[in-house]
Amino acid sequence: MTEVSFHFNVVDRTDYTCRLVRKATRAGASVVLAGPAPALQHFDRALWTFDDLEFIPHIMPEPGQPVAERLRAATKVWLLHDVTAAPQHDVLINLGVDAPAGFESFAKVIEIVTPDEDDRGAARRRWKHYESRGYAIEQHNRAAS
């Protein structure tokens, strides 16, 4: 069954997410960042610039655009609006306000929640969505770190 983790009180979502992606890929996992186009475009840039000494190779294909097989096999980080198009299903980081359709095909789903009240409200709805479907939820309070 899919593991679901909520990371609460994350002050800098961009930096935190990029570091999670780096950690997961260094551990050998593939990662999909899923969400609306503006969020994906933001992370497309951020994965190049969040660290002065490195970038995280990734791909953000246009919907319906074919991706070369060698690129599909070699790329561990995908930025996708539709997670059902993901070639690998290790880790899903949700950047949207709703739980993405198809999340259950991933080994792990990570929800990153800032202290913003609107973000927290959307996270509560996602939490209830996962919980109502029987998923055990792990929580990490970054304010306690």
Q: What pLDDT score was predicted for residue 85?
A: 87
What are 125-140's pLDDT values in tens digits? 999 999 999 999 999 9
pLDDT band per the 50, 70, 90 thresholds, residue 28: very high
What are 61-94's pLDDT values in tens digits? 987 778 888 888 889 999 999 998 888 899 999 9
**Residue keyed to tokens 């561990």:** 76
Q: What pLDDT score was predicted for residue 48?
A: 92
pLDDT band per the 50, 70, 90 thresholds, residue 144: low
Distance (Å, whole) CA 97 – CA 125 = 9
**CATH code for the domain of 126:** 3.40.50.10110
Q: State the distance between the two ends of the chain, measured CA to CA, in whole angstroms.
A: 28
What is the share, in percent, of the chain residues with pLDDT greater than 70? 99
What is the count of structural domains for the chain? Answer: 1
Q: Which two tokens stand for residue 102?
A: 């198809």
The 3-state DSSP composition of the chain as helix, strand, coil percent (nearest 5) reads 40, 20, 40
Distance (Å, whole) CA 114 – CA 86 = 26
Domain that holds residue 77: 3-144
Q: What pLDDT score was predicted for residue 74?
A: 84
DSSP state of 115: S
pLDDT band per the 50, 70, 90 thresholds, residue 99: very high
Q: What pLDDT score was predicted for residue 145?
A: 57
What pTM value is reported for the model? 0.94
